[in-house]
Amino acid sequence: MAHRFDPREKHKLESPERRRHLPPERVLELLELKPGETLLDLGCGTGYFALPAAQRVGPSGRVFAVDVEEEMLAEVRKKASGIPQIELIRSETYRVPLPQAVAEAALLAFVLHEVEDPVRLLGEVRRLLKPGGRLLVLEWQKKETPMGPPVSERLTEEETRAFLKEAGFAALETSPFGDWFYTARGFKPA
């Protein structure tokens, strides 16, 4: 079983140090969200990305904040009070209870290394994206860092790119993000 983030450690997701190394606005810029679009934030945690994404998509957009942990969704529920474009979704690991092709963009931030079958999870994300939909994966570099999962549980950029390709994503590219992370981007073919 892959190591999952412990919800009892959720305070770490909002730390000033994390904001310094991982400004959510910079991550969201890479998704190129536009007003009126729908974002699928899979593994939304405490809403670190979902809340600022709601501002980007505006009142006519939507953010599906998806997590397997009710404790995380409860945290987002508290913070998102009065933000109608955020919709909370409790999911299973490989099944999100939404119809296909519901989002223009998807974000998987530090989720892929936590599952046993990354390709299966990416296949579900592909199902949820509209044709031409954008996917951004954010993961830990496979090296020692002051925080994060054990190095043995991290994925290399090459592994992540291979998973994306196997799941049917196109135009794959990876790039470093700060000193500790990397991003992988792909598109669902039209």
Using CA atoms, how far apart are residues 56 and 51, in angstroms rounded to an integer?
9
Closest of 138, 121, 187 to residue 22, by C-alpha? 138
pTM to 2 decimal places: 0.91
The CATH code of the domain at 7-187 is: 3.40.50.150
**Where in the chain are the domains?**
7-187
Can you tell me whether residue 64 is helix, strand or coil?
strand
Q: What is the pLDDT of residues 89-137, one digit of tens each?
A: 999 999 999 999 999 999 999 999 999 999 999 999 999 999 999 999 9
Q: What is the pLDDT of residues 47-72, one digit of tens each?
A: 999 999 999 999 999 999 999 999 98
Q: CB–CB of 169/105 below 8 Å?
A: no
Buried b (16+ CB within 10 A) or exposed e, 95-134: ebebeeebbbbbbbbbbbbbbeebeebbbbbbbbbbeebb
Please report, for residues 66, 67, 155, the alpha-carbon distance to residue 80 in angstroms, rounded to integers and kept in the order given. Answer: 13, 15, 32
How would residue 10 be classed by pLDDT, with cut points 50, 70 and 90?
low
